[in-house]
Structure 1
Amino acid sequence: MAITLRKLCAGCAILVVSYVALCLLFLPFLKLATVPGVWKVPGAGNDVLADFSSSISSQSCHPTSASGLCSVTGDKFFFGLATAPAHVEDSLNDTWLEFARGHDGIFPVRAWQNIPIPEERLRFWTEPEVELNLAKEAGVSVFRLGIDWGRIVTEEPIHGMDQVVDMKAVERYKEILQMVRNHGMRVMLTLFHHSIPKWAAVYGGWTQKKTIGYFRDFTRIAQLHFGEYVDYWITFNEPHIFVMLTYCTETWPPGGQPSVKDSIMCFAPFGTYGQAMAAISDAHKAAYNVLHGGDATAVVGVAHHVGVIKPYGLLDVPVVLFSRWLTEFQWIDDIQDHLDFCGINYYGQEILSTAGLMLVPDEEYSEAGRGVYPDGLYEVLVTFHNRYKKRRPNLRYIITENGIADARDIVRRPYLVEHLLALHAAIQEGVPVDGYVHWTVTDNWEWADGYCPKFGLVYADRTDNLSRHARPSYSLYQKVVKTGLVHVLQREDAWNTLQAEVKQGGIRPFCRDTDSHGRMWAESRDVPTTRKLASKDWRFGMYRNQGLITMITSCKTNHELKKVA
């Protein structure tokens, strides 16, 4: 018995040592693009830190697949604002509304049951001019919105799409798109933004191949009725996020309680994740061909979510590498020959401990639990450009989402400035970026987190008929948009205001639950808790990694940013 126990312990020790050795072997693969060797900051006054006002060169315009010429969408860097149907449209009986209403006393969507008029969202269907007026006043030239597939196609189109199209909904969308145009903004239209039609959810949605054909036909309907209004098409928004949370963890509609085994098997070589992503890739390619078939000059892309994923400890390295492999390039590799641009949705860093996001005490986070890391936007853009720059024509980029949940609006202002500086640095390094679209105009329904995270430049008072109140960050973005410039004084004012709060021990709302080890899983909160503002200097070029991550990125030592006064 004793011999058997010793053998068992020896075997366990060998496994542990082997795993640690494997983690050490994988360390070099965690390296990302580094920030510029020297980033010069002007001395004082109103010196400009970033200038987005100049025209993009002719080589920087979107080449169309047919002609190779620049598209009609303009040759200047643009600023925009973004939203989506499930976030803002009222009178929308979609899967999300059904999910939020719960069943058998279970309510999967947090901060919804205890919120006034949650089902009205932001009334964008009946009162779109409210949001559009705010966007116009901000000065943006591009407005990103979506059309809800289930609102337009009301039943499964077993006998053909045309027979089940709600033409009243089509006409209303036309009116809204025309309003965007009348407000002097170009249209960026998303076809699928995390909302599957109820009839498709019944049979399994993207796990069934027939959905590919249905989406192709839906795209044909969209091109036929809305093509004249659209400047940029986005077929899919962050599909790997949708697939993971819908089919693997089942924390999105229709919901469920999968076992740990089922969740793991979802990512197996022939699991549900791969099947659904393959179907979405095929659907995008089909939609791309439809849109270009109807308009040779169409500009078609996707919005791809990318975060900088890091390990909390040495033993977390394999799960980080797996997560990166799953989410960074795999989908874009598959569809790159059917892209006129790649949209990047960037919110921050994800520090993993086992499979959970770690809430590291000295890091700054958004209310939604996303780590604040402006350097990461530069790293992502340069890394993607280096991977795809040999493609012909060159793959171009648009920041299709970037923002932070911050009800107090104390972190958002420096967050905005620092990410624009990171974006500008990437452009200076040769990354072809055509525009920046901020998420979002007004606080809205944030998926399973409900109304807890506040992403808006504008606050909506849900107890006062959704009256809007612009935050200071709205004014800051407005000034940047209208001048195309980021000034030293804007950076100093935003950062110093935050630091004054930090020194006073300032706190802010926080919407995520954590376990006893500080890991954030899928749970959000009906009522936010509070969290102290971090004292860490996370500004672009000033961020310093700690512990294991410092060792991993030690190759940066000779390339650290130097602040030149």
Structure 2
Amino acid sequence: MARVLRLCCGTLVTVMALYVAACFALFPLLTRQPRPRIILADDDPILASFFDSGPSCAKSDAVVSSAETCKTADKDFFFGLATAPAHVEDDLNDSWLEFAKGHDDVKPVRAWHNIPIPEERLRFWTDPKVEIELAREAGSTVFRLGVDWGRIVPEEPVNGISEVLDNEAVEHYKSILKMVHNHDMRVMLTLFHHSLPKWALLYGGWIDPRTVSYFADFARFCKEQFGEYVDYWITFNEPHIFVILTHCSGTWPPGNKPSTLASLLCFTPWGHYGQAMNAITHAHIAAFDALNEGEVKAVVGVAHHVGVIQPYGLLDLPIIYAARLLTEFHWIDDIQDHLDFCGINYYGKEVLSGAGLMLVPDEEYSEAGRGVYPDGLFQVLVAFYDRYRIRKPKLRYIITENGFADARDLIRRPYLLEHLLAIHAAIKQGVPVDGYLQWTISDNWEWADGYCPKFGLVDVDRGHNLTRVPRPSYYLYQQVSKSGVVTREQRDQEWKTLQEEVKKGGMRPFCRVVAQDKRMWAESLDTPVLRLIADKDWRFGKYTPPGFVVLAQRSIEVAGIMLKDIVRLLLGGQPVDVSLPPEIVSGEL
């Protein structure tokens, strides 16, 4: 018995030693991030110019201080706004509506039951002109929207789409697409944006091979019906996010919570994550081929979510690199030969510790829990360009989503400018970026977070007939999108405004549940809490990441978190305690 015990202890010590050695070996890779070769000039009033500009866009006071459109011969770069059916369409009896209503006093969607007329979303179906006009007035030349698969095909198409088609829905979508064109905007159309038809959820969704063939047929049908109105096609939006939250955590429709063991096995080769992502890969390739049938070829891409994943402590490094392998390049590697462009959805960074995202007290976060990190967008663009630069023809990039949940609209404005500076730096370094789409026009239903995070450039008064009130960020975006420039005056003014609020001890809403160990779990809040605005310089090119000493010191805390997680799992509980500590938040709004 003593010999067995010594053997077990020796094995455990060896494993731990190898794990720590791996952490130290991986650390140098963490510090090898691409840096911009061009530093912003101190005396240049124009920090970024996205249009090929003539003399009228030179360093003149008029351009620096006004929102006048530069007189250009060729605006290759476009600005636009993005949305999706499940966020904005009313009269939509989809899986999200059914999920949000809940059952047996279970309310899986937060900030929904306590919100006026939540099921009406933004009435984009019955009154699309409101959002379309707001987008056009903001200077958008590309409008990203989607078609809801379940609305068009309300029953499983066992004998083909024509047998179960909703023709009225098809014609209404055509009228919306025409309206976008009539407002002088191009259409970017998404076919799958986190919403499976209810009939597909019943038999297992993407882990059933039927869904692949059904989706290919749906793409072919959409090309036939909507092709003349569509300028850019997106087959899938952030599929790995959908798969993780649907299959691995059960926090999205249909809400089937897997056991602790099933959650752990989800990412293994025999788990649902691999099965579903493999099916989606085949579905994209089939849809790409279907959209390119005939003489008229389509411009087809995907919207791929990429967040910069960083460790909280050194002991988190192996988990970090495993997460990056699963989510960063893997899917694009598989479909790169079936893409005209790669859309990048970038919101910020995720500081990971064990199984959870950390809320680091001195970092800035959106209401939805995304860490602010403009440098990361530059790093992502350069990393993707370096990986696929030998592909022929050259793979092009579009920022298909970038935005910030901020009801007070204090951080969103510098956030917007700093991310545009990051994009401009990537372009100057050779990355072919064709456009930028801000998420989103008006505050909308944000999946399982409900209406708590406010991502809109426009405020929505849900208690007064969904009245729209543009925020200051709306007008800032309007200035940039119409002029094509980011000025030093804009950057300095927005940062100064934010810092004045910081000095006053300003606070903002925060929508995520935070555990005692400072981790943010999948839960959101019905009513936001208040959190101090961080006193951190996170601007592009000025962010200082934690060094080796800080990460090493945090590893003591990480070891304790990992130990508690293991004990909880062995006892059959959840891996985190989701009670709210008073030092993280300061009270309810």
Same fold by TM-score, threshold 0.5 exceeded? yes
Distance 2:75 2:169 in 1: 33
**1:141-193 per-position Cα deviation (integer Å, ceiling 9, x unaligned):** 00000000000001001111111110000000000001101111000000000
For residue 271 of structure 1, what is the aligned residue in structure 2?
A: 271
- 1:26: how far off? 2.5
The letter of the residue matching 1:288 is: F
Q: Which amino acid aligns with 1:121?
A: R
Equivalent position SS for 1:418 = helix
State the secondary structure of the residue aligned to 1:513: strand
1:4 to partner: Cα distance: 6.1
CA distance in 2, matches of 1:191, 1:363: 36
Q: Does the residue aligned with 1:421 lie in a helix, a strand or coil?
A: helix
Tell me the equivalent position of 1:345: 345
TM superposition shift of 1:271: 1.6
Counterpart mapping for 1:74-93 below 5 A: 76-93=76-93
Between Structure 1 and Structure 2, how many residues are aligned? 533
**Matching residue of 1:254:** 254
The CA deviation at 1:25 is 2.1
- Aligned position for 2:161: 161
Q: 1:358 to 1:548 in 2, by over 3 A?
A: farther
Give the residue type in structure 1 aligned to 2:244: M
| Matched residue, 2:576 | none
Tell whether 2:50 aligns with 1:52: yes
Q: What is the rounded CA distance, in whole Å, between the counterparts of 2:418 and 2:40 in structure 1? A: 14
Q: CA deviation at 1:31?
A: 4.6
Q: In the alignment, which residue of structure 2 is the partner of 1:525?
A: 525
Deviation at 1:29, TM superposition (A): 3.6
Between the aligned partners of 2:422 and 2:522, the Cα distance in structure 1 is 29
1:413-562 to structure 2, matched below 5 A, reads: 413-548=413-548
Tell me the percent identity.
65
Distance 2:288 2:418 in 1: 34
Q: Does 1:209 align with 2:195?
A: no
Q: Do structure 1's residue 224 and structure 2's residue 217 form an aligned pair?
A: no
Deviation at 1:223, TM superposition (A): 0.6
Instruction: Provide the C-alpha distance between the structure 1 equivalents of 2:291 and 2:540, rounded to a whole number of angstroms.
Output: 38
Q: How many Å apart are 1:297 and its aligned residue?
A: 3.2
- Name the counterpart of 1:410: 410
Q: 1:370 to 1:191 in 2, by over 3 A?
A: same
- What residue identity is the alignment partner of 1:48? I
Deviation at 1:269, TM superposition (A): 1.1
1:7 Cα shift? 5.4
In the alignment, what sits opposite 2:373? 373
Match of 2:61 in 1: none
- Residue 40 (1) aligns with residue 50 (2): no
State the distance in 1 between where 2:290 and 2:297 align: 12
SS, match of residue 289 in structure 1: helix
**Maintained 8 Å contact 1:42/1:488:** no
CA contact (8 A) 2:111 2:527 kept: yes
Change (3 A) 1:302 1:9: same
Offset at residue 21 of structure 1 (A): 1.1
Match of 1:284?
Answer: 284
CA displacement 1:262-286 (0-9 Å, x = unmatched): 0111111122111111111111111
Inter-partner Cα distance in structure 2 for 1:34 and 1:21? 25
Residue 401 in structure 1 maps to residue 401 in structure 2: yes
Structure 1: distance between partners of 2:272 and 2:497 = 47
Q: Distance in 2 between matches of 1:55 and 1:179?
A: 30
User: Equivalent residues in 2 for 1:129-168 (5 A)?
Assistant: 129-168=129-168
8 Å contact 1:32–1:383 — kept in the other structure?
Answer: no
Aligned partners of 2:294 and 2:287: how far apart in 1?
A: 11
Relative to 1, partners in 2 of residues 1:381 and 1:55: Cα closer, same or farther, differing over 3 Å? farther
Residue 55 to residue 151, structure 1, CA distance change in 2 (3 Å):
farther
TM-score (norm 1): 0.92
**Distance of 1:206 and 1:529 partners within structure 2:** 36
- Shift, 1:256, TM fit: 2.1
TM-score using structure 2 length: 0.88
* Aligned equivalent of 1:556: none
Structure 1 equivalent of residue 104 of structure 2: 104
Q: Is the 8 A contact 1:33 1:380 kept in 2?
A: no
- Give the whole-Å Cα distance in 2 for the aligned partners of 1:140 and 1:476: 13
Question: 1:189-200, aligned counterparts within 5 Å?
Answer: 189-200=189-200
- Report the CA distance between 1:14 and its aligned residue: 2.8
**What residue identity is the alignment partner of 2:530?**
T
> 1:550 Cα shift?
7.7
Q: Distance in 2 between matches of 1:467 and 1:450?
A: 18
User: Which string of whole-angstrom CA distances, capped at 9 and with x for unpartnered residues, describes residues 320-352 of structure 1?
Assistant: 101100000000000000000000000000000
1:258 positional shift: 1.2
1:466 Cα shift? 0.1
* Cα distance change on mapping 1:200 and 1:231 into 2, 3 Å: same
Q: Structure 1 unaligned segments of length 5 or more: list them.
A: 57-73, 553-565
Q: CA deviation at 1:547?
A: 3.5
State the one-letter code of the partner of 1:386.
D
| SS of equivalent residue, structure 2 residue 52 | coil
Residue 300 (structure 1) aligns with: 300
What SS does the corresponding residue of 1:217 show, helix, strand or coil? helix
2:130 aligned counterpart, secondary structure: helix
Q: CA deviation at 1:295?
A: 5.0
| Distance in 2 of aligned mates of 1:545 and 1:423 | 20
Q: Give a deviation string over 1:236-255, Cα, whole Å, max 9, x none.
A: 00000001111111110000
- Three-state SS of the structure 1 residue aligned to 2:531 is strand
1:557 corresponding residue in structure 2: none
Instruction: Look up the match of 1:354.
Output: 354
What is the rounded CA distance, in whole Å, between the counterparts of 1:194 and 1:230 in structure 2? Answer: 20
**CA distance in 1 between partners of 2:534 and 2:223 (Å):** 47
Equivalence for 1:310: 310
Structure 1 residues 354-383: Cα deviation after superposition (integer angstroms, max 9, x where no partner): 021100000000000000000000000000
Segment drifting more, 269-278 vs 34-43:
34-43
C-alpha RMSD over aligned residues: 1.7
Alpha-carbon distance between aligned partners in 2 of 1:9 and 1:38, rounded to the nearest angstrom? 54
Q: Against the structure 1 CA distance between its residues 429 and 279, is the aligned structure 2 distance closer, same or farther, given a 3 Å change threshold?
A: same
Who is 2:389 aligned against?
A: 389
Distance 1:11 1:142 in 2: 59
Paired with 2:549 and 2:211, the residues of 1 have a C-alpha distance of: 42
